[in-house]
Homo-oligomer: A and B are copies of this chain.
């Protein structure tokens, strides 16, 4: 079965597999006090800037939830898109583990803008209501769209003007950076992001996410939050070695560019089919497409993918670092055949 279900259905990039194997030599002090970790963190500090404090964790949920936990007090709330992973796909962990209330904001394309945040500030200072303390955005969004630097900067300015931090869920930040053609630093610290969940797993790693804190005052306590948050791996070197390989020679960029290009090929092909309609801008590695219902059934016989909006017959197709042109042309062929057969 061909795979367009998710970029996390892909395996491990060979360079990263090799790095794991090479780190498997002799004994190392556990929990990150090793040279592999030191080296990976140093490399990432170069990438994200000297003010960044970086902590490896094991899942994207943990990066999001523990990062927010570090910054928020128990009575504070997070403003986020209704469609955000934080709101939809964490099984209530932000509420239960970080302890905060999420204020969900409807958004057509998965993005927030300052205007949509304003009504949530009316409760500031009123003890009957959870107090807004963070804005959380996803880059690239759950709908495959990408915030520009200007959009991020506008949100961070708004957040900071109202005593909130800006959190970025960067599970797919590599795809966003590849799309924009700029450095991670430009869409994070330089644009005013305070807290970043940096994702490695969806772009070729086996396991590995990072919480990156750009405001050092908040970072000093994170090591305790990580440990208490059940995310401190004893054999840390094997996470660190993956991150080192991920950044070595800009592997992350090659992987993300490839995945994005596959999404472009896929969406270009779909646009040629009049019966289909692309419903979101294709800026990263996701393609949202409205199909004739019977085509969805036909595609599902040969491909894994998720239905996004059953009522409107919209499916999500994700590409990844290992998607091939053959995979794309195969899916397009199946799709066309399904339409011709129905005709």
Contacts and interface: CB of A to CB of B under 8 A. Distances in A.
B61 A230 contact: yes
Given A8-B30, A10-B27, A100-B95, A73 B221 contact: yes
A129 interface: yes
A130 interface: yes
A299 interface: no
Nearest to A21: B17
B232 A127 contact: yes
A29 interface: yes
Interface string A85-100: 0001111110111011
A127 to B, nearest CB: 4
A44 interface: no
B11 A30 contact: no
Nearest to A25: B11
A313 interface: no
B9 A28 contact: yes
A3 interface: yes
Contact of A6 (B9, B30, B129): B30
Nearest to A89: B128
A74 B61 contact: no
A307 to B, nearest CB: 11
B75 A96 contact: yes
Given A11-B25, A231-B230, A233-B207, A101 B92 contact: yes
- Listed residue (A29, A89, A227) with the most chain B CB atoms within 10 angstroms of its CB: A227
Residue of A73, A90, A224 with highest tally of chain B CB at under 10 A: A224
Interface string A2-15: 11011011111000
Contacts of A75: 91-92, 96, 221, 224-225, 227-228
A30 to B, nearest CB: 5
A91 B58 contact: no
Given A11-B24, A29-B304, A229-B230, A127 B91 contact: yes
Contacts of A20: 17, 20, 206
B66 A230 contact: yes
A224 B11 contact: no
A174 interface: no
Contact of A27 (B29, B61, B231, B304): B304
A26 B5 CA distance: 13
B27 A9 contact: yes
A65 interface: yes
Interface of A: 1-3, 5-6, 8-12, 17, 20-21, 23-31, 58-62, 65-66, 69, 73-77, 88-93, 95-97, 99-102, 104, 127-131, 201-202, 206-207, 221, 223-235, 238, 304, 320, 322
The 5 tightest CB contacts between A and B, nearest first, are A3-B27, A92-B130, A8-B234, A62-B230, A75-B224
Given A58-B59, A58-B207, A229-B230, 14 more contacts: A6-B30, A10-B27, A11-B24, A17-B24, A74-B225, A88-B128, A90-B128, A93-B228, A95-B100, A96-B99, A127-B224, A206-B238, A207-B235, A230-B230
